[in-house]
Amino acid sequence: KIYFKEILALTGFSINGDNISADQPIAGANGQQALSRVCLEKIDKKEIMQFSEHFMREEIQNSLRLARFFSILLQDVTSIEGKDQIPVFIRSVTIAGFPQKHLIGFLPCDLDAENMFYMLLSELRNKWGLRMEHCRGLTYLITGSMCQKMRDVTCRILQEFPQVVLSPSDPYAFNIWIIRCMPVPSIQKVADTVEEVASLLRRIPELSRRLEGKIQLAYGHIKGEVDRIKAAISGNWERGTDAFQTMLEILEPFLNCINEIISKVDEDAAEQMAKLKPMLKNFNFIMTLVVLKNTLCCVSILNSSLRGIISISSTLQYTISNALKLISKYQQELAIFHRKWFSDAVNRAKKLGVEVTKPEMAQADTNETPLEDFYRETMSRPILQYLVAEVKRVFSIEMVRILRWLSLVPSYMADHNFSIRRDKVADANLNNLARPDTFYEELGCWEVKWRHASKRRILPTTVFATLKILDIGFYPNVQSLLRVLGTVPCVNAEADVYGQYHMVLERCHSYLNATSKDQRQCNMAFVYVNQDVHFNVENMVETYVQKHPDILQMLQMDDNSTEKPPQVVAHGNHAEKDTEEELQLINLEMDADRLVEMKCAETDREALKSALQAAVVSTCS
């Protein structure tokens, strides 16, 4: 069992940056303790992964059952086990008030929208025991050809379960997420190109340094502009509110950097730059950036509201109304606005030496439509229409109601004289409340509590900080509403000290990036991504031994043959003396065996912990 525990523990966490495979050897290459020959030859690692997956699933099911409310997070399409599939995550809030995220499986892409909808529901209900009545949020980040199909699936879910709200996908800003999910190939191609530029800058430090120098030359004559642009391209700027504006500002300096550095980088980077350059020096790319920059500013003001920023919640309805009015104004005066956008794009193209032409897909069109009119009707107008539809779809009545519960956070109450407007937190869905009959009395007690506490303590400023106060259990309805708010995918998630919430998605990307398509396995991904789920290894060992008692017998036989004492041979008159010495030797060996067994029993758990810690450290490094 000791050997079995070791291989079981190390197999689950044997993934590292160089070799991610279920067939990776556990001992030897990584320096771990040498394992039993029987373990290495007879125990099937694939079966161990199945056992690990089973016990992890049980722990996750228990956690989700206690959490009650949950949200569905669908990530971008990936190839795993030889076919395109969508990773499915679940977000919920723990009893302790922390957000948690788990990978629960993969959804095949080869189905139509209706069958995908039913398969997702079946997976949640039958495999995980989740009821859609408790689902409160939904988000997806699907690019490419699957955009329209996933939009149809989400529309079906929102239609069937009106209590579910559609939310942007973390970590994208609201306006960037909207465009990433727009089912138009040309828009998707531009967004992909912007992300490729950002990735290249992070991967090649020399390119980033040269770009900063070029920005200094291009914008040094404008006060504060250099510092602003340099700050804009820090971090994951391609996912931020001003991503397309930033791309426009660095386009010329970036192209100049490519010309200078392409001969000084490695072959892969040079090839990537060579492919990227004609995509950037393309009028359709420039025109799309200009249109997106100017149209998305209409909805960028809504980003703070969806992130759970307390100060915004009081003006939420006003902010939504302003965004829709601004889009409506653009639609009514589109001819005037679009003329400015087209002129801006033409000037930028001429400065870069780019020919002003129709996009390749429209070259075959024989109509003599002016280029300005062509882009107005095929790009600017459809984008504005799409923005109106998406704002109304995301900011539904249910989403506005949920975001208004931010007024229950004590720091918000302090800004409003510790007075809660009952109509703001009134909830038509009684399933969100733990004790509906005492709701309004409880709100009165909640007001009094923080009015008196404000003078002697620092007030919680976020949803999760409020959920962690010691006596939150005395306010079950407030706790329940905040837990629902905490499950909504766009609300900022505060990870614990280990950062486990944010590491889940990072581990998924790490697994996919470090594993070739032909080696990816669903159960291996499940175990690796959810490795912070704690389950009882001893129970897993017992279950395995019950299923395969012959393995345990073979291990015992292997131990006996290894530790068998040497035979004593009698010679003539020394027979009795040799017999006595043999008995003494056997007794000493039996005593030693008993001591070893006692020591093993005491140190078994510690040894397993040490093995797990070493494996996790090697995994993270």
CB contact burial 160-189 (16+ within 10 A = b; e otherwise): eeebbbbbbbbebbbbbbbbbbbbbebbbb
pLDDT at 307 (0 to 100): 67
Q: Is residue 157 part of a domain?
A: yes
Q: Do 10 and 61 share a domain, yes or no?
A: no
**Mean pLDDT, rounded, for 529-553:** 77
At 609-620, the pLDDT tens digits run: 454 454 444 444
CB 218, CB 250: distance < 8 Å: no
In 46-134 the beta strands, taken as DSSP E runs, fall at 70-74, 78-80, 83-93, 99-108
Predicted confidence at residue 123, as pLDDT, reads: 94
Name, in order, each residue with C-beta under 8 angstroms of 75's C-beta and a sequence gap of 6 or more. 86, 87, 88, 89, 140, 141, 505, 508
456 and 603 assigned to the same domain = no
Q: Does the pLDDT of residue 261 top 50, yes or no?
A: yes
The SS3 call for residue 532 is coil
Cα(456)–Cα(439) distance, integer angstroms: 27
Evaluate whether residue 534 is within a structural domain. no
From the number of C-beta atoms within 10 Å of its C-beta (0-12, 13-18, 19+), residue 322 rates as middle
How would you class 103 by CB atoms within 10 Å of its CB: exposed for 0-12, middle for 13-18, buried for 19 or more? buried
- DSSP string computed for 538-551: HHHHHHHHHH-HHH
> What is 129-195 written as a DSSP string?
---GGGEEEEEE---GGGHHHHHHHHHHHHHH-TT-EE-PPTTS-HHHHHHHT---HHHHHHHHHHH
> Which of residues 529, 555, 581 is at a domain's end?
529
Residues 250 and 124 both lie in one domain:
no
The verdict on residue 183 lying in a domain is: yes
Looking at the predicted structure, is the pLDDT value of residue 495 above 90?
Answer: no
- Quick check: is 450 in a domain? yes
CA–CA gap between residue 367 and residue 372 (Å, rounded): 13
Last residue of a domain, one of 475, 508, 529: 529
Decide if 317 is inside a domain: yes
Q: Which residue has the higher pLDDT, 605 or 177?
A: 177
Whether residue 554 lies inside any domain: the answer is no
Query: How many residues can be counted in the chain?
Result: 621
Does 282 map to a domain?
Answer: yes
Q: Say if residue 500 is in the same domain as residue 410.
A: no
Helix (H, G, I), strand (E, B) or coil at 93: strand
The number of distinct structural domains making up the chain is 4
Do residues 215 and 111 share a domain?
A: no
Say whether both 386 and 503 belong to one domain.
Answer: no
Which range, 92-96, 143-147, 166-170, is most confident?
Answer: 92-96
Identity of the amino acid at 97: G
Residues 422 and 326 in one domain: no
Confidence of residue 607 (pLDDT cuts 50, 70, 90): very low
In this prediction, residue 60 carries a pLDDT of 93
Q: Are residues 265 and 363 in the same domain?
A: yes
Question: Which tens digit of pLDDT belongs to each residue from 321-345?
Answer: 888 999 999 999 999 999 999 999 9
Per-residue model confidence as pLDDT tens digits over 104-130: 999 999 999 999 999 999 999 999 999
Mean pLDDT estimate for the chain: 81
The region of weakest confidence among 35-39, 122-126, 265-269 is 35-39
> 215 in a domain, yes or no?
yes
What CATH number has the domain bearing residue 516?
A: 3.30.420.40
Q: Give the pLDDT score at 609.
A: 47
Copy the structure tokens of residue 5: 């525990």
Query: What pLDDT, on a 0 to 100 scale, did the predictor assign at position 539?
Result: 78
For residue 392 the two structure tokens come to 């109304």
**From 14-28, 472-486, 548-562, the region with the lowest mean pLDDT:** 14-28
Same domain, 279 and 327: yes
Over residues 5-17, the mean pLDDT reads 49
Residues 309, 288, single domain; the answer is yes
Same domain, 183 and 166: no
Q: Please tell me the pTM assigned to this model.
A: 0.81
Q: Give, in degrees to the nearest 5, the angle at Cα 128 between 127 and 130.
A: 125
Structural domain boundaries enclosing 428: 399-487
Quick check: 382 and 184 in contact, CB under 8 A? yes
* Candidate from 415-424, 464-473, 559-568 with smallest mean pLDDT: 559-568
What share of the chain in percent tops pLDDT 70? 76
Same domain, 446 and 474: yes
